[in-house]
Homo-oligomer: A and B are copies of this chain.
Amino acid sequence: MSSTQGEHIVSAYNDELTNLAQQIAEMGGQVEVAIENGTRALLRLDRELADVTVLADKRIDDMQRHIDEMAVSMIARRQPMASDLRAIVTAIHVASDLERVGDMAKQLARRSLKIEGLNLQPQFYNGVKNMTNRVQSQLKDALDAYANRNAAAAIEVCNRDDEVDAMYTSLFRELLTYMMEDPRNITACTHMLFCAKSLERIGDHATNIAERAYYLETGRQLSDDVQELHRAQLKA
């Protein structure tokens, strides 16, 4: 193989890797919009926006399938070495997490159709609204950490997941209180509980993506490193 030909192949390969990263970034963007629309459909009981979100989920599923196929074909054709293989496999996993987040957004949107006509009060919504903002920024930061291969930013996202869980627990208790105060609140608040659960799970997927970003950059599992740090601190 001539050197020019070799360079040509390497450059085509790099183009493919860049393209894969771009596809993930684009899918991430679509998923962020889906969360925005899903929650807005829920909070405003907006049927049209609910339909838009459900349709968008089909496109997100297609994007995942496409990324999957791209990644598998790259592995088969290029037989990549360790670090590139890691990048490609990580892309498969991140796309899978994003696809699940798309499902959650769809579920939020669909729930707007179920709560129409129920006894809804603004305070039922507030916690859900706050949690949405929080998990949106978690997902955004996780995707940024992934795109920029920033291990420190990835750790940040994982550390903040406890706050999302705490918000969820406190919202859970608050909604139970409304239910106990007045049985007419039960159905609406139950639906809100499930919305809160969907949001908490979006937070978990953001953490997964951040953990993948950490692994991509360092080659180590974040959970292993955290345990080691913890042991070192105990000894000190």
A-to-B contact residues, CB < 8 Å:
68, 72, 75-77, 79-80, 85, 89, 92, 96, 176, 179-180, 183, 186-187, 190, 193-194, 197
Closest 3 CB pairs of A and B: A180-B183, A75-B75, A179-B186
| Residues of B with C-beta under 8 A to A76 | 75-76, 79-80, 85
Q: How far is the CA of A186 from the CA of B175 in the complex (A)?
A: 11
Contact between B75 and A77, CB atoms less than 8 A apart: no
Residue of B nearest to A65 (CB): B221
A214 to B75, CA, bound (A): 24
Give the CA-CA distance A189 to B121 in the complex, in Å. 22
- Whether A183 and B194, one on each chain, are in contact in the complex, defined by CB atoms closer than 8 angstroms, is no
Closest Cβ–Cβ distance, residue A61 to chain B (whole Å): 10
Q: Is the CB of A183 within 8 A of B179?
A: yes
**Inside 8 A of A179's CB, which chain B residues have their CB?**
179, 183, 186, 190
How long is the Cα–Cα vector from A120 to B3 in the complex, in angstroms? 74
How far does the alpha carbon of A186 sit from the alpha carbon of B185 in the complex, in Å?
A: 11
A sample of 5 more A-B contacts (CB under 8 A), given A75-B76, A76-B79, A186-B186, is A72-B75, A72-B89, A79-B79, A176-B190, A193-B193
A183: which of B72, B92, B183 is its contact (CB, 8 Å)?
B183
Contact B80 A79 (CB under 8 A): no
Q: Which residues of B contact A176 (CB under 8 A)?
A: 186-187, 190
Q: A193 to chain B: which residues have CB within 8 Å?
A: 190, 193-194
Residues of B within 8 A of A92 (CB): 92
Min Cβ gap A65→B in Å is 9
Residues of B within 8 A of A180 (CB): 183, 186
Q: A96 to chain B: which residues have CB within 8 Å?
A: 96
* Across-interface contacts of A68 in B (CB, < 8 A): 89
Which residues of the partner chain B approach A77 to less than 8 Å between Cβ atoms? 79
C-alpha gap A92/B85 in the complex (Å): 15
Residues of B within 8 A of A80 (CB): 76
Q: Which of A76, A85, A96 has the most CB of B within 10 A?
A: A76
A186 to chain B, nearest CB (A): 5
